Amino acid sequence: MKTLSVIILTYNEEDYIEDAVKSVAFANEIIVIDSESTDRTVDLVSKMDCKFASRKFDNYCNQRNFALTLTTSDWILFLDADERVTPKLEKEILEAISKEKYLAYKIWFPHYFMGRFLFHYTDKVIRLFKNDNSKFKNEVHEKLVIKTKVGVLKNYMIHYTYKEIYHFLDKKDKYAWFQAKMSHDKKKKATLFLLFFKPFYRFFHTYFVKRVFLDGVPGLVSASYDAYGVFSRYAKLYLLEKNLK
């Protein structure tokens, strides 16, 4: 019988971690990697049936690769603390790892924003994969290096994406700084094209091509914030170029 390890990365997730762990109780092992939380996260985890490790955060890629070294199962599922595996997804995951039609699977994530799930504002990300020494690359928007055909699971992962508007903006700002630093290290320049056309294209693609307009006002707001995130990335790159940060 195939075994499954679930990895959960945490930082100040006291409001979410218990329900996250409960939703993957079917796994053979649950590993929590904490980035030196200052709230009750570590205390809560210590009371649950989990493996625990603490590692100072440097970037998402290294954090995930460190977690991979602690697994002992045939398959790995990455879960964020604000995500939940539904009973239908649980059944599909167990069936997928049993049959091994593919060695990696993408899972759909509808965003939760302004009190509702946006089923047209979704991401499709590799989260379930065979434990075969795969590694992540890129400091931000880390990507798993997979050299095989990837399947797609049908059922959604519940994702409470943003707690409040301020959380949305704070997360966008942090990602923007990471991305700007990566671009700066690669000697990229913040051109007028990047500062103005890229944000416009992001809004158009999100709102019209992905049909986020069908998600109503929350869809419009999320598409606008997406465009803001792109503008912020290149604005921060400009600041780094001019040594203003």
Rg value, the chain, Cα:
19
Q: Where are the domains of the chain?
A: 4-159, 165-241
Q: What is the pLDDT along the chain (245 residues), one digit of tens a residue?
A: 899 999 999 999 999 999 999 999 999 999 999 999 999 999 999 999 999 999 999 888 999 999 999 999 999 999 999 999 999 999 999 999 999 999 999 999 988 888 788 888 888 999 999 998 788 987 666 788 888 899 999 999 998 876 566 666 777 787 788 788 888 888 899 898 899 999 999 999 999 999 999 999 989 998 998 899 999 999 999 999 988 76
CATH number of this structure's domain 4-159: 3.90.550.10
Q: Which helix (H) or strand (E) holds 173?
A: helix 165-185
pTM of the model: 0.80
Residues 6+ apart with CB under 8 A from 196: none
Pairing of strands 83-84, 158-159: antiparallel
